[in-house]
Amino acid sequence: MNDLIAGPARPHSPEMSELKATFERDGFLNFPTNIPEALLDQARSDVESVLLKRPRIQDAWQKSLAVHTIAVWPEILAMLANFYGKKPRPFQTLNFRMGTEQDIHADTVHFNSMPRGYMCGVWVALEDIDEENGPLIYYPGSHRWPEVTLKDVEEAGYFKRNWRDEARTLGNRMGVPPIQQGPHYRHYERYMADLVARSGVQPKLGVVKKGHAILWAANLAHGGSPQKDKTRTRWSQVNHYFFEGGKYYTPLHSHGSFVWFRDPNFLPL
């Protein structure tokens, strides 16, 4: 099925209802944003010098009006409000020059909400993306799987926590800055790779035109496919959103009864 639509759908229209049903079924949606090409090019220009030296830049919206404008684009916000029934609140942008080739994961291990499910990502193509320059890869329907935590990975036998990890957790409870549980994250990635292999779900590639976007649900298994043509770029911008009225936390910094709540730096609308 081709999830690409030709133009903006009106709120509460049959077209929007169909798009919502597709998103709820698959956990992702490929759609045009109608963002002007000049704005896409300006966002790219604003971050280009930084991204010649590193793979990504986080929260460039703080210095780039173009990056900020893309993250709060009215048609994107209206679609999210319609799908989730709550006001979306953008809290992070990520800009990329090349493909990430990132291992399969779900955003719920990095960002989560109470109640669950009120977080999503929108990936905007700043140039044409095809199978050669590292498109996204995602697993349709995986957003309906149970959320995976480090506890699940540990209980499945992928690693064993030791006293040093417990000491770090106690430090967090006392207000020490959070420690990304990096030594265990690679086991999480192995767990996710095995999970999608066992599922039998066939992945899809995010092949999109410049100015189009992919919306994905928080628990969708996704990553970056190999960049086959290393001479090409893959300019893109990721926007992450929570929704109004919830509490927000970081599972990787949480353990047991301790929850590391987030105080997001929401973008002004």
Given a cut of 90, is residue 244 above it in pLDDT?
A: yes
Q: Say how many domains are in the chain.
A: 1
Given a cut of 70, is residue 177 above it in pLDDT?
A: no
Q: For residue 184, what pLDDT band results from cuts at 50, 70 and 90?
A: confident
Whether residue 5 lies inside any domain: the answer is: no
Q: Which of 53-57, 149-153, 261-265 has the lowest mean pLDDT?
A: 149-153
What the block records as the tokens of 147 is 């959320």
Given a cut of 60, is residue 181 above it in pLDDT?
A: no
| pLDDT over 70 percentage in the chain | 87
Q: Average model confidence (pLDDT) for the chain?
A: 89
Given a cut of 70, is residue 32 above it in pLDDT?
A: yes
Whether residue 34 lies inside any domain: the answer is: yes
Encode pLDDT of 79-114 as tens digits.
999 999 999 999 999 999 999 999 999 999 999 999
Whether residue 234 lies inside any domain: the answer is: yes
188 backbone dihedrals φ, ψ, rounded to 5°: -60, -45
Whether residue 6 lies inside any domain: the answer is: no
Whether residue 4 lies inside any domain: the answer is: no
Whether residue 77 lies inside any domain: the answer is: yes
Strand ranges inside the chain, DSSP E: 28-32, 56-58, 88-96, 112-114, 119-125, 136-138, 204-205, 212-217, 222-224, 236-243, 247-249
Domain range holding 79?
14-253
Encode pLDDT of 8-17 as tens digits.
556 667 888 9
pLDDT of residue 164: 54
Q: For residue 182, what pLDDT band results from cuts at 50, 70 and 90?
A: low
Residue 200, domain CATH? 2.60.120.620
Average pLDDT over residues 56-78: 97
Average pLDDT over residues 188-202: 97
pLDDT of residue 167: 47
Report the 3 state secondary structure along 152-212: HHHHCCCCCCCHHHHHHHHHHHCCCCCCCCHHHHHHHHHHHHHHHHHHCCCCEECCECCCE
Whether residue 163 lies inside any domain: the answer is: yes
Given a cut of 70, is residue 170 above it in pLDDT?
A: no
Given a cut of 60, is residue 242 above it in pLDDT?
A: yes
pLDDT of residue 9: 57
Whether residue 9 lies inside any domain: the answer is: no
Calculate the alpha carbon distances from 237 to 34, 59, 126 in Å: 15, 10, 7
